[in-house]
Structure 1
Amino acid sequence: MIKKNYDSDFCGSLPLHQINLIQPYGYLFVANKSDLRIIQASENVNDLLGEPVDQVVGKSLEQFIRQEEADLLKGRFGSGIDEKVPLTINLTRSDAARRYIALVHVKSDYVVLEVEEAGDESTFLDVFQELKYVMAEINRAETVAAASKVVVEQLKKLSGFDKILMYQFDEQWNGTVIAEVKEDGMEEYLGHKFPASDIPKQARKLYLKNSYRLIPSREYTPVKLYPVINPVSNTFIDLSDCNLRAVAAVHLEYMKNMKIRASMSVRVIRDDKLWGLISCHHKEPMYLNYEMCSVFELLSSVISNKISSLESGEEYQFVNSLQEKKTQIIENVYSEKDLVAGMLKQDLKITDLFSAEGAAVSYRGSIETTGEVPDNEELKNLIYWLQSKPEDKVYHTSNLSSEYDFGSAFSKQASGMISIPVNADRGEYIMMFRPEVVTTVKWGGNPDEAINFDSNGVKYHPRSSFGSWQEVVKQTAKAWKEEEVEVAENLRSFIFEYSAKTL
């Protein structure tokens, strides 16, 4: 698979939250809680207030907004709300007031305001009516694929992005595109996998704090904060949860290589973890006002809840089926009064419990098998190897040949294995095997070239091509699910007790 995991050992260590710059589609203020005195601001506030930033800093926000808005803002400080709260404010410049949206972040020592122009209220109401239909369609979907298809199609209609796709993470944080809608002529990524380093762990962590990430133009000029050092913390301000936070240069280069000039990513959460992203691409610069971004944010919650519900339902049924089969296996052992016969010689075998094609039981001096398994000599050698593992732990792998040197000799029958130790000292194990499943993985570009360093070994660049790159994966079986491993552990406890009683 991927030879170098830049997700964890390089990209994942970049301090994205302390970039100390913002994108110019909005304005940033940092103010004291007590008197709303501005202690830090983005240098573009001159466009907003008609005063240079060095004159704005030190003044109170109350000089620029209405008194009732200032009172409402202060009221948020004592409410105990630690999430970002949007407020409508009217900022005055040359005696003329203009309506804005202020996204308020209440910190322990100060308050942060992200300010953007407010959108048209009537347009938002029209969009909200359409949103109710989209939510109903998502809730009607019976599968994750169907729900994902609905959300990408409807978001494209609502927003006008050239391409929208749903991107699901696997256990290694590689992402697979499971739904896509696009304009003609754009590269198709449906079914393609992208390496974890494309959205490294630092970036993924920030999605737990931010529902979405909007980049209206990759060709923007970043705006500095003044003063550079936050006077309260005496460090760069932490912009982790700021939508306006500037973009790392490598990601802008990544967008350029993808031939897009604007993007938006919306999180999909399950069990408080990042499950996937809704990724939006546009060939030209594109700005979405806060109201439209809120639609995306709301749909993020709807699709997250739907996916959680669907997957939880599937998992419940799967676990329930496992428990029923495990109970029957235990009953078989007791009725046969024999461990091996109860597991291998009934209508319901242990292979049925673990969706395996073969099983071998090494018990009290003999090896009995069912289905497709390695030959006896290979099984004996495998048992010697298993004895080097922790004797009280279930062992499982879906790529045995990568861990056991001689595994490639029987990979067709046994690329996957789960083993339950009965008595490791005596070489007694119950082993289930899954056959090799040869798969072709379509990558969006060569994953081994996800990151390319300059000759100095310091500066780096993302890959320049995202064309389909195929990888044939061999000697790998269908992976064992966490629930199956748990059932194997439970079965190990029963087997240990049963063996002790029948000695």
Structure 2
Amino acid sequence: MTNYQVDLTNCDREPIHIPGKVQAHGFLVAVDNSFAINYVSENISKFLATDANSLLGKKIADLERLLLSQEDAGFITQLLLLGKHTKSFETINPYRLSISNESFNLILSQAGTNYLLEFEPDSTATEFDIQKTIGRSVSEMLTGKSLKHLLDNAAEQIKNLIGYDRVMIYKFLDDGHGEVIAEVKEEHLEPFIGLHYPATDIPKQARELYKVNLTRIITDVNAEASAILTLATEGETLALNLTHSALRAVSPIHIQYLKNMGVASSFSISLLYQDELWGLIACHNYTPRFINFKAREASKLIGQIISSALEYKQDEENSSKNNQYKAAYDELTGILRKGGNVADAITKHTTSILDVTDASGAVLAFEDQLIMLGVTPSTEQMTPLVDWLKTNMEDRIYHTHKLPDVYQPAKAFSTVASGALACTLSKELGEMIVWLKPEQISTVNWAGNPNKPVEINEDGLMSLSPRRSFDVWEETVKHTSQRWSKAEISNVLKLRDEVVFAINRQANEIRILNEKLKQAYEELDTFSFTISHDLRTPLSTIKNYSELLLESNSSLDEDAKRILNKVIGGADKLNFLIKEVLNYSRVGRAELQNTDLEMASIINDLKNDLVVAFNTHNLVFEVGNTPSVYGDRTMVTQVFANLLNNAIKYSSRSAPPHVKVEGKETQTEVIYSITDNGVGIDINYYNRIFDLFKRMDNVRNYEGTGVGLAIVKRIIEKHNARIWMESELGVGTVFYIAFRKNL
């Protein structure tokens, strides 16, 4: 047989399902599909008048002959054939028989291509009426209304059933370590209730076996296990899989662990929740103790009933919180499906993203801003955390209840955010929602120091050893929050899908609106150009005929001449307006020819032209710094021409008129200001000054069409620039234009 050495590197991979040994209180025989004996435990000689080697390779009939004191010939063969036919041995086990005038149970099971025959005593430390005992035990257990009462009652009833010195309910936590949450014991024993045990005490592969074997007995830790012998095949011996074996020997590490605790015998019953190992009913006795198959099956049945009740109670206790989360999710879903701004929908109503979990704070990172709800770190602290999550989130969701352990800066704000649950909305844009839970400082009482499983042996090498001391070892846990529940994570995932759907829908709506707006602009440009162009011919005709009448007809009286002059003046004004509309439409149709513009020459040329054109007395025209601008020369010149024209025109009646233009640079923009001391703009017109044909009441006496600023606005938008103003009636106006730098 192959020996397996356990060391520090492979404890979690120790093949405990193939230990190569069985416990000493029974013996094992394994046969293949032809019912030939290919495995026998070495201790068979203690129970039958034979030895293991003499049976290897023989047929099952040879074993039957050794057991024929009270049995018919071929009885084991018939049991095996029946089990093979029904594909189960549950209705057969246990088969009672007599060996050396003592009652034994034969327990049959399948192990790959082999069939296990395990013989163990039928006598037990506990005799009882199984039906009455189980009925009474279950009735007592289910009287408790809460999960705690159920578990306390379960521990009490199991102790009454099997009579062990200590019965504990041991619950596994998320990281694999366990806690004793219920206990019944003999009075002289120290309590273990509330103690925590590290995950290494019951490693992963052992927990997996507990899901397959719902009961497990270790009769006597001091009894030497018996080796399983087999014949070599092609020079190799294959280990026998004892996953379903009742007699399977115990890991030497676990045996030493029990010895260190002073435990002589142990028995466990698995508790499952949604097909996963929730915990164990762990029973300890301080002297060797055996309970037979019937008692173990009764205990297993009680464990299954407890598991069902546990699932019901656990779901019942979870349902209240889950219903709250679901109600919040349903409310937010309803708001999102109505349309509108997505960020407002999930942050600005009575129900918000904060309500879909048990978090104390939530942060929405969306459209280059952070929206905070509840108790959160500062913006300065959240911004780098969000950046870290963008880089480190490999999936659409991430959660931890120990944020400072994985993100060191979180120690500075662990009191408000030791737990984080994040979901991405857009990986490309780095948009996400983050929920936060505060620190919960707690004290964990360990059964011995869980951090010292390593000892130095005589050779100076490290070796793995179970703890020798189980004295209470106290640990203060900081930088840890309440764990995120499955319901919270599930709710967040569902909400994420709804938010992403709403964002995509809104993006599509905006895209459609942009297409319609673009089409409307193009149609308006075409219409404006066509109408303006077509109006010029009849307008020229009106003007020309009016001038001809005025010049060629000397008999006209003064009133007729005055009327004709007004017609000619009106035609000139209308012609100017048509030119302005054409200019406006050309802005929309023209393609930009962007270059770096030397603004000093452009502004000085405009200054010279405008000063001559207006001939304003005592005009003070200042030109400050003139950094270059990246844009289309014709259009940028048109912007400054319009704004400077207005500045001079509307300050012409001030004493003296004062106009100033200057620029300054930031890291990303060039910002120009054009200041005047003119009539100013009424605050009621601030939102309309860039509209087409809009003019203020206080400038009715100044010539203008209401098109100039509309042209300016359109040119600015075409350059992806910004324009805004500040003004006060009777004091003056400042227009600001911010052009993006060509980086």
Q: Same fold (TM over 0.5)?
A: yes
Report what 1:151 is aligned to.
154
The Cα shift of 1:458 comes to 5.8
- Between the two proteins, the alignment pairs up a number of residues equal to 493
1:85-124 per-position Cα deviation (integer Å, ceiling 9, x unaligned): 513243465xxx5432111013453321111122389934
Q: 2:81 aligns with which of 74, 78, 92?
A: 74
Q: Is the CA contact (8 Å cut-off) linking 2:336 and 2:502 kept in structure 1? A: no
Residue matched to 2:212: 209
Change in 2 beyond 3 A, CA 1:395/1:464: same
- Contact 1:330–1:342 at 8 Å: present in 2 too? no
Please give the alpha-carbon distance, in whole angstroms, between the structure 1 residues aligned to 2:378 and 2:126.
Answer: 73
1-structure distance, mates of 2:196, 2:125: 40
Provide closer, same or farther for how the CA distance between residues 494 and 89 of structure 1 changes in structure 2, counting only shifts above 3 A: closer
CA distance in 1, matches of 2:8, 2:393: 27
Q: For residues 422 and 391 of structure 1, what CA distance do their matches in structure 2 show?
A: 13
Q: Which moved more, 1:472-481 or 1:40-49?
A: 40-49
Aligned residue in 1 for 2:18: 18
The separation in 1 between residues aligned to 2:91 and 2:38, in whole angstroms, is 20
2:94 is aligned with 1:87: yes
Residues 112/373 of structure 1: CA separation in 2 closer, same or farther (3 Å cut): same
Counterpart secondary structure, 1:412:
coil
Alignment of 1:441-456 (within 5 A): 441-452=444-455, 454=457, 456=460
Partners of 1:392 and 1:175 lie apart in 2 by 29
Larger radius of gyration: 2
Judge conservation of contact 1:88–1:99 (CA < 8 Å) in 2: no
Gap change, CA 1:285 and 1:360, over 3 Å in 2: same
State the SS of the aligned residue for 1:280: strand
Is 1:307–2:306 an aligned residue pair?
no
In the alignment, structure 1 residue 367 sits paired with structure 2 residue 370: yes
Structure 2: distance between partners of 1:99 and 1:231:
39
Give the C-alpha shift of residue 165 in structure 1. 0.2
* 1:243-271 alpha-carbon deviations (Å, 9 max, x no partner): 21222222121111111111112211223
| Cα distance between partner residues in 2 of 1:473 and 1:121 | 43
- Aligned equivalents of 2:54 and 2:99: distance in 1? 15
Q: Match of 1:422, SS?
A: strand
C-alpha distance in 1 between matches for 2:125 and 2:167: 25
What is the rounded CA distance, in whole Å, between the counterparts of 1:389 and 1:202 in structure 2? Answer: 31
Q: Could you list the per-position Cα deviations for residues 74-94 of structure 1 after superposition, in whole angstroms to 9, with x for gaps in the alignment?
A: 32222212669513243465x
Distance (whole Å) between structure 1 residues aligned to residue 233 and residue 308 of structure 2:
38
1:338-377 equivalence runs, <5 A: 338-377=341-380
In the alignment, residue 123 of structure 1 is paired with which amino acid? E
Question: What CA distance in whole angstroms lies between the structure 1 residues aligned with 2:367 and 2:465?
Answer: 59
Q: Hey, what does 2:139 align to over in structure 1?
A: 136
Match of 2:527 in 1: none
Q: How does 1:44-443 map to 2 (within 5 A)?
A: 44-57=43-56, 58=58, 60=61, 61-63=63-65, 64-65=67-68, 66-67=71-72, 69-70=75-76, 71-81=78-88, 85-91=92-98, 93=100, 98-119=102-123, 123-125=127-129, 127-227=130-230, 234-333=237-336, 337-390=340-393, 393-443=396-446
Matched, 1:499 2:499: no
- 2-side partners of 1:344 and 1:11: how far apart? 50
66-75 or 235-244: bigger deviation: 66-75
Residue 232 of structure 1: how far off its partner (Å): 12
SS at match of 2:30: strand
- Cα 1:108–1:216, aligned 2, differ >3 Å: closer, same or farther? closer
Relative distance call for 1:110 and 1:422 in structure 2 (3 A) is closer
Letter in 1 for 2:39: Q
Counterpart Cα distance in 2 of 1:302 and 1:202 = 25
| Pair 271,335 (structure 1): closer, same or farther in 2 beyond 3 Å | closer
Looking at structure 1, the residues matched to 44 and 283 of structure 2 have their Cα atoms a distance apart, in angstroms, of 29
Q: Determine whether 1:460 maps to 2:459.
A: no
The amino acid across from 1:404 in the alignment is Y
Tell me the distance in 1 between the aligned counterparts of 2:32 and 2:336.
Answer: 71
Question: Structure 2 vs 1, CA of residues 184 and 452 (structure 1 numbering), >3 Å: closer, same or farther?
Answer: farther
Q: Aligned-pair distance for 1:147?
A: 1.7
Residue type of the alignment partner of 2:72: Q
Q: Which moved more, 1:368-377 or 1:60-69?
A: 60-69
Give 1:172 deviation, angstroms. Answer: 1.3
**Counterpart Cα distance in 1 of 2:108 and 2:239:** 19
Residue 296 of structure 1 and its aligned partner are, at CA, apart by: 1.6
Q: What CA deviation, in whole Å up to 9, does each residue of 1:122-142 have, x standing for no partner?
A: 9342x5412211112233333
Q: Which amino acid aligns with 1:39?
A: N
Q: RMSD over aligned Cα, in angstroms?
A: 2.9
Question: What is the distance in 2 between the residues matched to 1:171 and 1:453?
Answer: 31
Distance in 2 (CA, whole Å) between partners of 1:247 and 1:231 is 29
Determine the structure 1 residue equivalent to 2:488.
484
Please tell me the residue identity of whatever aligns with 1:260. V
Structure with greater contact order relative to length (CA < 8 Å, sep ≥ 6): 1
Return closer, same or farther for 1:108/1:169 CA change in 2, 3 Å cut-off: closer
TM-score, with normalisation over the residues of structure 2?
Answer: 0.62
Partner of 1:3: none
Distance change (3 Å), C-alpha of 1:67 and 1:173: same
Task: State whether structure 2 residue 476 is matched by structure 1 residue 472.
Answer: yes
| Cα deviation code 1:254-293 (max 9, x no counterpart) | 1111111111122112233221111111111112122222
Taking the aligned partners of 1:52 and 1:429, their CA distance within structure 2 comes to 71
**In structure 2, distance between residues paired with 1:312 and 1:429:** 30
Letter in 1 for 2:83: R
CA contact (8 A) 2:362 2:434 kept: yes
Alpha carbons 2:83, 2:89 under 8 Å: kept: no
Structure 1 CA distance for aligned equivalents of residues 281 and 99 of structure 2: 37
Contact 1:21–1:223 (CA<8 Å) still a contact in 2?
yes
CA distance in 2, matches of 1:309, 1:417: 29
Asked whether the equivalents of residues 216 and 285 of structure 1 are also in contact (C-alpha less than 8 Å), the reply is: yes
Shift of 1:395: 2.6
Matched residue of 1:492: which SS? helix
**Structure 1 residues 56 and 92, CA gap change in structure 2 (3 angstroms):** farther
Q: Per the alignment, do residues 114 and 453 of structure 1 end up closer, same or farther by CA in structure 2, a change over 3 Å counting? A: farther
State percent identity of aligned pairs. Answer: 27
Offset of 1:334 from its aligned partner? 5.5
Taking the aligned partners of 1:314 and 1:7, their CA distance within structure 2 comes to 42
Letter in 1 for 2:143: R
SS in 2 for 1:388: helix
The alpha-carbon deviation at position 171 of structure 1 amounts to 1.5
In structure 1, what is the Cα distance between the partners aligned to 2:191 and 2:207? 24
SS where residue 481 of structure 2 aligns?
coil
- Unmatched segments (≥5 aa) in structure 1: 1-5
In 2 relative to 1, CA 120–436 (structure 1 residues): closer, same or farther, beyond 3 Å?
Answer: closer
2:437 partner amino acid: R
The AA in structure 2 aligned to 1:377 is E
Q: Distance in 2 between matches of 1:270 and 1:213?
A: 19
TM-score normalised by structure 1 residue count: 0.89
| More displaced 10-residue stretch of structure 1: 227-236 or 249-258 | 227-236
